């Protein structure tokens, strides 16, 4: 029999690097975290600059609330956040972030620097981080944040991603493939946040590859980002369910009531009619549009909607679906997956069924309109 090996405590730096690997898989996953921070900070303009598919440089500039000078020393420590303080806050989460892990993780697998200015501060501050702590930018210099010129808001600069995790780096695809993943993440957030202006460009390139105006709306954003062929065949449905005092009949709900009444939810869907047929299903699902903006993958919901479309589309053809669900944060469990890719909510089966039914009915009536038109 083999002798048991002694159990040892892992070194702090190793623990942190392993934890970072769970959240930051590739440039696009770092960018997702940073975009969410900008939106949490109330930004109306988000500008992304990328070099080498984000492996050399990923820079995100926002015009949000900024970070207080006093908070900079602990900014990149693990579990430091301005968004959560008690366990019960978890059930009222209205922001994307809450764990305080993103910037910490990034600082363990890349060179992180921050330039930030709040409205009340007279100048901006620049700070550099490595392995969770402030670090001097060059040997001999101080690690303390330095005053500098800058606009209100925050710029996060990530350089040399995965410089210390060569296996991760070599698992990445080409710069162009990583860049297209970055564009895909921004596109989805831009559709869901049409009031916010997004741009994305490569360093040195004169014009952005993606650019959206501020104060737009979802259908316009879909047209701009996914093209006319999808936009011209879009149907729209806004619906929900709210338990009335005397029973549990469905009725139209006012979005502002969602938070007050735990049993209610609303859905806003933009989905293609049977005229549109794509090889691959494009499914954008957000849970809690007003209170927490989450980009999630729910395979159950996806399968249910695929089933609906399989009744109206020829075999092999797929739709485009944008679905934004608003559910009382009390009924949502966001703490299932470190990247929040998976989110669980109460009554998932029944809500899924009701959404599938509504889309089914809407598509069925559209089919009959189309048939009548062809008959004429």
Contact call for residue 102 and Mg ion (CB under 5 A): yes
Which of 125/265 has CB closer to ligand ADP?
A: 125
Q: Which is nearer to ligand ADP, 220 or 339 (CB)?
A: 339
Looking at residue 7, what DSSP letter applies? Answer: P
What token pair was written down for 157? 């600069």
Per CB under 5 A, the list member of 37, 298, 318, 352 interacting with Mg ion is: 37
Question: Nearest approach, Cβ of 167 to ligand ADP (angstroms)?
Answer: 24
| Interaction between residue 64 and Mg ion (CB under 5 A) | no
3-state secondary structure of 127: strand
Stretch that binds ligand ADP, among 96-104, 230-238, 302-310, 366-374 (CB under 6 A): 96-104
Q: What does the radius of gyration of the chain's CA atoms come to, in whole angstroms? A: 23
**Binding characters for ligand ADP, 264-283, by CB under 6 A (x = yes):** --------------------
Q: In degrees rounded to 5, what are phi and psi of residue 311?
A: -80, -20
Task: Report the site for ligand ADP in 102-161 (rule: CB under 6 A).
Answer: 102-104, 154
Residue from 53, 64, 240, 274 touching ligand ADP (CB under 6 A): that is 64
CA trace torsion 223, 271, 323, 316 (10° rounding):
-110
Gap between the Cα atoms of 45 and 353, Å rounded: 37
Shortest distance (Å) from residue 155 CB to ligand ADP:
8
Alpha carbon distance 147, 125 (integer Å): 5
Task: Mark 70-89 with x for binding to ligand ADP (rule: CB under 6 A) and - for no binding.
Answer: -----x-----xxx------
Least distance from ligand ADP to the Cβ atom of residue 50, Å:
17
Phi-psi group of 249: left, alpha or beta (phi > 0 → left; psi -120 to 50 → alpha; rest → beta) = beta
Q: Return the number of the residue (24 or 172) whose C-beta is nearest Mg ion.
A: 24
- Between strands 111-117 and 146-148, the pairing is unpaired
**98 binds ligand ADP, rule: CB under 6 A:** yes
Nearest to ligand ADP of 154, 318 (CB atom): 154
- We find the least distance from the C-beta atom of residue 135 to ligand ADP, in angstroms, to be 17
- Residue linked to tokens 């991603």: 161
**Binding-site partner at residue 82 among ligand ADP, Mg ion, none, CB < 5 to 8 Å by type:** ligand ADP
Q: Is 282 helix (H, G, I), strand (E, B) or coil?
A: strand
Q: How many CB atoms lie within 10 A of CB 130?
A: 17
Query: Which of the ranges 23-31, 61-69, 183-191, 314-322 carries the binding residues for ligand ADP, by CB under 6 A?
Result: 61-69
β-sheet with 265-272: strand ranges across: 234-241, 265-272, 320-327, 282-287, 294-295
Identify the H or E element spanning 17: helix 12-23
65 binds ligand ADP per the rule CB under 6 A: yes
350-353: long-range contacts at Cβ-Cβ below 8 A with a sequence spacing of 24 or more? 351/241, 351/265, 351/325, 351/327, 352/300, 352/301, 352/304, 353/304
Stretch that binds ligand ADP, among 30-38, 171-179, 244-252, 367-375 (CB under 6 A): 30-38
Pick the closer one to ligand ADP by CB: 77 or 255: 77
Closest approach of ligand ADP to the CB of residue 248, in Å: 36
Distance CA 216, CA 325 (A): 20
Find which of Mg ion, ligand ADP, none residue 158 binds, CB within 5 to 8 Å per kind. Answer: none
Q: What is the DSSP letter of 134?
A: E
- 67 forms part of the interface with ligand ADP (CB under 6 A): yes
Token output for 352: 């899924």
Tell me how far the alpha carbon of residue 353 is from its chain's centroid.
25
Query: Could you list the residues that contact ligand ADP (CB under 6 A)?
Result: 33, 37-38, 41, 62, 64-67, 75, 81-83, 97-104, 154
Query: Could you list the residues that contact Mg ion (CB under 5 A)?
Result: 37, 97, 102
């Amino acid at each position: 029999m083999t002798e048991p090996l002694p159990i040892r405590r892992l070194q702090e730096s190793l623990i942190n690097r392993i934890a970072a690997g769970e959240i930051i898989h590739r440039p696009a996953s770092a960018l997702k975290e940073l975009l969410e921070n900008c939106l949490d900070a109330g930004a109306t303009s988000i500008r992304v600059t990328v070099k080498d598919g984000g492996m050399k440089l990923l820079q995100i500039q926002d015009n949000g609330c900024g970070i207080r000078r006093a908070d900079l020393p602990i900014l990149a420590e693990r579990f430091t956040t301005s968004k959560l303080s008690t366990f019960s806050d978890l059930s009222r989460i209205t922001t994307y972030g809450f764990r305080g892990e993103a910037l910490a993780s990034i600082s363990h697998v890349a060179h992180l620097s921050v330039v930030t200015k709040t409205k009340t501060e007279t100048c901006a501050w620049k700070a550099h981080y490595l392995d969770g702590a402030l670090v001097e930018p060059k040997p001999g210099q101080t690690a303390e944040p330095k005053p500098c010129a800058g606009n209100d808001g925050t710029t996060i600069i990530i350089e040399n991603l995965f410089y210390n995790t060569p296996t991760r780096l070599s698992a990445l695809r080409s710069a162009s493939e990583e860049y297209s993943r970055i564009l895909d993440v921004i596109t989805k957030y831009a559709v869901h946040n049409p009031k916010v202006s997004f741009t994305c460009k490569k360093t040195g390139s004169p014009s952005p590859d993606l650019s959206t105006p501020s104060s737009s709306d979802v259908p316009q954003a879909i047209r701009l980002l996914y093209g006319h062929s999808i936009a011209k065949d879009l149907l729209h449905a806004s619906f929900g369910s709210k338990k009335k005092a005397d029973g549990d009949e469905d009725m139209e709900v006012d979005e502002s009531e969602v938070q007050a009444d735990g049993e209610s939810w609303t859905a806003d869907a933009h989905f293609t009619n049977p005229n549109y047929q794509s090889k691959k299903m494009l499914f954008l699902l957000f849970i809690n549009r007003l209170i927490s903006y989450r980009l999630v993958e729910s395979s159950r919901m996806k399968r249910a909607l695929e089933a609906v479309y399989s009744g109206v589309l020829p075999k092999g053809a797929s739709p485009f679906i944008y679905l934004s669900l608003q559910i009382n944060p009390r009924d949502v469990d966001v703490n299932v997956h470190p990247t929040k890719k998976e989110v669980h909510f109460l009554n998932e089966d029944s809500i899924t069924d009701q959404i599938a039914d509504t889309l089914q009915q809407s598509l069925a009536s559209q089919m009959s309109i189309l048939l009548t038109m062809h008959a004429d």
